Amino acid sequence: MREEAFRAEQEQGRYAPHVRPINEMVDALRDQDGRGWMPHVAPWHGGAEARVLSILRDPGPKTQEGAGSGFLCVENDDPTAELQAELFEEAGIAPRDVTPWNAYPWYINRSPKAAELQLGATVLKQLLGLMPKADVVLLQGNEAQDVWRRLLKAHPEAVRGRTLEVVSTYHPGRQALFVRDPEERARRAQHRIDSWRKVGSVLHGAEGRLRTSSVPK
């Protein structure tokens, strides 16, 4: 997103057919009940046609308009997005295979509260309804895993009749590795890599359908 030409391309494709349903949903949700601003999904990603739904915690500063790109995108100018892009490439996953999202999709730049995650689950139900080709849900971090549990409890119809592989791992931000034990840091970093590889294997059919992967407690 540092490159003007790339950024202009994303702006021009904001309502391209594959992302239009999701970005029109974002338009409808922006400032709902005074909640404020929400970034669009960059057309660099798969939008409604993606096979992978990747969920993090909340939109970061580089997703803001003006201060950032205005989009959820692995090409944003921040370390979390950079690691995401590297994990995509290493696992053989194209950006168009994935739609990025957040447990709480409005911009707050802090940990969402329980009531906010409950609302995030309702929005997630709506998003899943726009993604009929989704095969995999990648939950990155505690809040992403929390919102998925809330979705299953409050809106089980959102996944009824669908075959979704759910892969859980650590958040790609630096904070996930803020532990003293170097072996634990290495284990968490490797868990993220392994999880992306599992997602890639589903897409490429290397190991057939996978069992749900979860972060060990």
Cα 113 from Cα 181, distance rounded (Å): 29
Stretch 8-24: mean pLDDT? 97
Sign of CA dihedral 194, 179, 173, 56: positive
Q: In whole angstroms, what separates CA 140 from the centre of its chain? A: 8
Q: State residue 217's pLDDT score.
A: 38
Question: What are the start-end ranges of the E strands in the chain?
Answer: 40-41, 52-56, 71-72, 98-102, 136-140, 165-169
pLDDT, tens only, 84-109: 899 989 999 999 999 999 999 999 98
Cα 93 from Cα 87, distance rounded (Å): 8
Stretch 116-128: mean pLDDT? 98
Q: State residue 183's pLDDT score.
A: 92
Q: Show Cβ contacts of residue 15 under 8 Å, excluding neighbours closer than 6 positions.
A: 23, 24
148 versus 204: the higher-pLDDT residue is 148
Sign of CA dihedral 173, 2, 88, 54: positive
Which CATH topology does 4-204 take? Uracil-DNA Glycosylase, subunit E (3.40.470)
Is residue 110's pLDDT more than 70?
Answer: yes
| Residue 211's pLDDT band (cuts 50, 70, 90) | very low
Say what the pTM is: 0.91
The chain-wide mean pLDDT, for the chain, equals 91
